[in-house]
Amino acid sequence: MSEIANKGDSIRKYLNKNWLFQSSDKVKIDPDIISTTNYIPKNWYLIDIPSTIINGLVSNGVYPDPYIELNLYNLPGFKKDIKENFSNFNKPNDSPFKKSWWFRKEFKLNKKLEDKQIWLEFKGINYSANIWLNGKRVANNDEIIGSYRRFFLNITPFIDYSDVNIIVLEIFSPLPDDLSITFIDWAPTPPDDNMGIWQPIVLYSTGQVSIKNVFVDTNLNLKNLKKVFLNIIFELINIHDKEIKVDIEIKIEDIFINKKIKLFPKEKRKVNLNHNNYSQLEVLNPRLWWPYSLGKPELYEMELRIRIDDIISDQKNILFGIRDIQSFINKNGSREFKINGKDFFVQGVAWTPDLMLRQSQKQDIIDIKFVKNLNMNTIRLEGKFATDYFWDLCDKEGIMVIAGWPCCSYWEKWNNWKEKDINIANKSLRSQLYRLRNHPSLLVWFYGSDNPPPEHIERVYLTSLNELYKKIPKISNASNKSSKLQGETGVKMSGPYSYVPPIYWYTKERPGSAFGFNTETCPDTCIPPIESLTKIFPKGKLVVGSKKWNFHCGLKPFDNTKLIQKAIVNRYGKFNNIEDFAKTAQILGYETWRAMYEAYSRNFPNSTGIIGWMLNSPWPSLIWQLYDYFQNSNGAYFGAKKACESLHIQYSYDDNSIWVINRTNNNKKNLEITVKIYNRDFILKESFIQHIDINQHSRLCVLTIPYIKDLTNLYFINLTIIENLSIISRNFYWLTKDFDSFSGTDTFYHSIIDKYADMSELRNLPKTKITYDYKITKNTHTSQIEIYANNSQDNLAFFLRFIVYKKTKNDFIAPIYWTDNCISILPHEKIKIYGKLPSIFSKKEIDVKISGWNL
């Protein structure tokens, strides 16, 4: 039981600690009794929310860690025979999660609150619930229904200020014909289908008038960005059955507004304050919110208070940003965005929460830090809208977010929808718009996913979107399928989702190549490094393609790594063991993820955006991730990071051209560009030096490498940008004269390769030796490692991966935010890389190891 802290004569508190839960199959007692002090819980489980049932049972030791080996597969109720999207199938008849489950919580309230209105806000229940308080039912599961809806209950009539209050929820899991949360084909789903309280519950008080749905709408003058009109919108609810006079007070820094209004009994009124009535809402020289790649993400805070007879009845503090988003289809047919009038090339990744929907502010911080370390500017959320803290971080850090509904489930089975489904879908949309519209990080809303909704559903969605957030760009789906009301999308969802070689992204005939706006695509090849694989599979011998290996892939057709295995064998030669496979997979992932981002970035405005699939995984996975469940970055991560660096030099696989991409906010003058081509034995065959100027946020073709006589089939290119005598960009390629080629057959996840480039000579590179040292710099809560590496030999040191271990546990340290890794060091070359460590370490506590191709 918890005593809830009060602030004066008001309260606002997360009601998240010390809940009890148990199956209704085990506790067959009337909830009118369970929700009173007469009932003494026995053999219930203790959990903090947010939590799903499976997470609660795992936390209580009922089940082993479901993320290791085949533990998830062996849980009771797991859908063992299902190889497709789990949400489309019913639970087995013997599943313990077909029954409802109870959640029970005790709390006290101070008697000083007796003259207040007491509210509960439920931010997310999956999927529906009956709710009791102190022996009385306060809501039914035909009204508390929908994973994405938020519910506000006035519980004032049911509160007991003299004793303990007891709230009980009876929660029902989603069925295949419910508009619920789904992990689609990304991963197997826990057997409870994530039933539970998956977002926080807030207990709060107001006076007789409450505030809801506050929105600060901004209208920026794009001619000079020197003026903005603020439009403040909110709802006032008079709970009282009498007429009430209220004073509205608004403060935004040095802006003050006071307004008196009269509310009728039980009235709910929408209030709109704008510059036509309040000149102070015309703001000159505003601080603009920018994506961090374009500027500083400035935020304002608004304080909104409602007073009745000089006593605060309710108040809201809202953070908002002043920014303008324009979205249009350009002359190339590609969806383009401008932020505050500036071109915004979407360079992003898709994000997922934990498979059991566990929440962690620490993990949210890690994810956003990884995005910025990658130099990405956008995150896509497909049907998993993250925590409020996550969105606040995106606002603070200047990360744009694409949000929208999920695919491949009941969300897209519109022909089966009944009127109640349309109602739930629309109320879900409205809940999320109320929640998200003050976040300047929201870039666009997809109100369909893989497909556009039919006209009657589209009209319902657009009505709510235009009413609640008219300015936000809204697109009918994430593919190139036109809709009845909005027409063409200007985006595509053409795949691929599994291995393709680097040349794919430059081959115009391939559907996923670098044209248009690709809302989700990747070459996969995201195998974790070997030290992570041993954490996922700690028992027995690990065999690529075994049952437990494939179980940690996705669902059909992504339920194995056969295409990656085939590519490794055909490009790099047969692998000898699991360690060799994992090492080679890092190289394979690096080169093709790098090529994907480089190709799309080069081709602007013919290509205007790309979302890599994905940033992370919901559990220990072998697919679709740039860092694994243990926060360990893979080769694909460093290839993508290399491609997206702020000032970048790159090679084009299609025409041998060399390009410089300037993603900074500065024009660059007199940059020295060097291009060096080496034979297989690392004899220099050709060298080019040029000096260039390049404007901010632009791209420039520097030169095209000509035909080089007597070049070996395997050869290398080293590219550098030198500014003020320092190398500020370095990019190293291993290539063959015989490129990969395609059969001409494309599926949505793969293009069939009829000839692979033969990189197997890399296995015969002469051995070399690297000497290195490192130092640690301690900060307040973290450390930085600085590694100096020297190749004093005459041979190339190919694809070195630096790993930092704790000496005492012999376990790798993660996350580490590297400036570079997975690097090749030329003969007689010295390099220096940095990594930000997650906590404070001394040099004697850590060890640095190198995984190298030819060490």
The 10s digit of each residue's pLDDT in 544-588 is 999 999 999 999 999 999 999 999 999 999 999 999 999 999 999
Contacts of 583 (CB under 8 A, 6+ apart): 530, 851, 853
pTM above 0.95, yes or no: yes
Query: Peptide bond preceding 50: is omega within 30 degrees of 0, i.e. cis?
Result: yes
Q: What is the pLDDT of residue 5?
A: 38
**Residues 79, 90 within the same domain:** yes
Q: pLDDT tens digits for 100-127? A: 999 999 999 999 999 999 999 999 999 9
Mean pLDDT of 203-222: 98
Q: Enumerate helices (H) and strands (E) in the chain, giving the number of each.
A: 11, 49
Q: How many domains does the chain have?
A: 5
Q: What is the pLDDT of residue 81?
A: 86
In a domain, 536, yes or no: no
Query: In 813-829, which positions are buried (b, 16+ CB within 10 angstroms) versus exposed (e)?
Result: bbbbbbebbbbbbbeee
Q: What is the pLDDT of residue 8?
A: 45
Rg (CA), the chain: 29
In a domain, 572, yes or no: no
Q: How far apart are CA 709 and CA 713, in angstroms?
A: 11
795 near 766, Cβ under 8 Å? yes
Mean pLDDT of 703-719: 98
Q: How far is CA 506 from the centre of its chain?
A: 27
In a domain, 578, yes or no: no
CB-based burial label for 222 (10 Å; 0-12, 13-18, 19+): exposed
Q: What is the pLDDT of residue 439?
A: 99
The answer for 178, left when phi > 0, alpha when psi is -120 to 50, beta otherwise, is beta
* CATH number of the domain that residue 744 is part of: 2.60.40.10
Q: pLDDT tens digits for 209-218? A: 999 999 999 9
Question: Residue 190: how many CA atoms within 13 Å on its side-chain side?
Answer: 30
Q: How far apart are CA 377 and CA 339, in angstroms?
A: 12
Other C-beta atoms lying within 10 Å of the C-beta of residue 226: 11
Contacts of 688 (CB under 8 A, 6+ apart): 673, 674, 675, 676, 703, 705
Q: How far apart are CA 579 and CA 697, in angstroms?
A: 41
Q: How far apart are CA 99 and CA 572, in angstroms?
A: 52
In a domain, 582, yes or no: no
Query: In 792-811, which positions are buried (b, 16+ CB within 10 angstroms) versus exposed (e)?
Result: ebebbbbbbbbbbbeeeeee
* CATH number of the domain that residue 140 is part of: 2.60.120.260
In a domain, 305, yes or no: yes
118 near 156, Cβ under 8 Å? yes
Angle made by CA atoms 756, 761, 765, in degrees to the nearest 5: 150
CA dist 4 → 10, 197, 512 (Å): 11, 20, 54
Query: Peptide bond preceding 497: is omega within 30 degrees of 0, i.e. cis?
Result: no
| Residue 721: φ, ψ to 5° | -115, 130
Supply the range of the domain harboring residue 243: 209-320
Grade residue 4 by pLDDT with cuts at 50, 70 and 90.
very low
Q: How far apart are CA 290 and CA 336, in angstroms?
A: 17
Q: How far apart are CA 806 and CA 263, in angstroms?
A: 64
Other C-beta atoms lying within 10 Å of the C-beta of residue 3: 9
Q: pLDDT tens digits for 784-840? A: 999 999 999 999 999 999 999 999 888 999 999 999 999 999 999 999 999 999 999
**Residues 201, 217 within the same domain:** no
Q: What is the pLDDT of residue 9?
A: 78
Q: What is the pLDDT of residue 60?
A: 99
817 near 369, Cβ under 8 Å? yes
**Residues 112, 77 within the same domain:** yes
In a domain, 545, yes or no: no
Query: Given the DSSP bridges, would you call strands 346-350 and 607-612 parallel, antiparallel or unpaired?
Result: parallel
Query: Peptide bond preceding 190: is omega within 30 degrees of 0, i.e. cis?
Result: no
Other C-beta atoms lying within 10 Å of the C-beta of residue 784: 17
**Residues 638, 673 within the same domain:** no
| Residue percentage of the chain with pLDDT more than 90 | 97
Q: How far apart are CA 518 and CA 603, in angstroms?
A: 13
Q: What is the pLDDT of residue 402?
A: 99
Angle made by CA atoms 309, 314, 315, in degrees to the nearest 5: 120
pLDDT over 90 (residue 2) = no
Q: What would the two tokens of residue 850 be? A: 């190198």
Closest CA to 734 of 720, 722, 719: 719
pLDDT over 80 (residue 433) = yes
**Residues 597, 746 within the same domain:** no
Q: pLDDT tens digits for 149-185? A: 999 999 999 999 999 999 999 999 999 999 999 999 9
Q: How far apart are CA 354 and CA 397, in angstroms?
A: 22
**Residues 380, 501 within the same domain:** yes
Q: How far apart are CA 338 and CA 330, in angstroms?
A: 12
**Residues 354, 488 within the same domain:** yes
Q: What is the pLDDT of residue 577?
A: 95
Q: What is the pLDDT of residue 1?
A: 29
Q: How far apart are CA 191 and CA 182, in angstroms?
A: 12
Q: What is the pLDDT of residue 371?
A: 99
| Residue 616: φ, ψ to 5° | -140, 175
Q: pLDDT tens digits for 323-373? A: 999 999 999 999 999 999 999 999 999 999 999 999 999 999 999 999 999
**Residues 513, 635 within the same domain:** yes
Q: The tokens 């009941």 sit on which residue?
A: 410
DSSP state string for 155-216? -GGG--SSS-EEEEEEEE---TTS-----TTTSPPPTTTT-EE-S-EEEEEE-SEEEEEEEE
CA dist 446 → 180, 380, 405 (Å): 17, 10, 7
Query: Peptide bond preceding 502: is omega within 30 degrees of 0, i.e. cis?
Result: no
Q: How far apart are CA 469 and CA 472, in angstroms?
A: 6
Q: What would the two tokens of residue 582 be? A: 């994992």
**Residues 391, 432 within the same domain:** yes
693 near 669, Cβ under 8 Å? yes
380 near 348, Cβ under 8 Å? yes
In a domain, 328, yes or no: no
Query: Given the DSSP bridges, would you call strands 128-133 and 282-284 parallel, antiparallel or unpaired?
Result: unpaired
* CATH number of the domain that residue 452 is part of: 3.20.20.80
Q: What is the pLDDT of residue 3?
A: 32
Q: pLDDT tens digits for 487-515? A: 999 999 999 999 999 999 999 999 999 99
Closest CA to 718 of 691, 682, 690, 770: 682
Domain end point (choices 606, 621, 643): 643
Mean pLDDT of 297-321: 98
**Residues 133, 17 within the same domain:** yes
Mean pLDDT of 761-778: 97
Q: How far apart are CA 336 and CA 345, in angstroms?
A: 8
Q: pLDDT tens digits for 634-688? A: 999 999 999 999 999 999 999 999 999 999 999 999 999 999 999 999 999 999 9
In a domain, 522, yes or no: yes
Q: What is the pLDDT of residue 234?
A: 99
pLDDT over 60 (residue 7) = no
Q: Across-strand partners of 247?
A: 260, 307
**Residues 438, 516 within the same domain:** yes
**Residues 681, 630 within the same domain:** no
Q: Across-strand partners of 7?
A: 10
| Residue 677: φ, ψ to 5° | -115, 130
DSSP state string for 47-74? EPSSEEHHHHHHHTTSS--TTSTTTTTT
Q: What is the pLDDT of residue 83?
A: 86
Q: What would the two tokens of residue 142 be? A: 């035909």
Mean pLDDT of 220-239: 98
Mean pLDDT of the chain: 97
Domain end point (choices 759, 785, 812): 759
For helices 419-436 and 455-468, angle between their N-to-C axes, nearest 10 degrees? 30
Q: What is the pLDDT of residue 809?
A: 86
Q: How far apart are CA 174 and CA 49, in angstroms?
A: 19
Domain end point (choices 619, 643, 667): 643
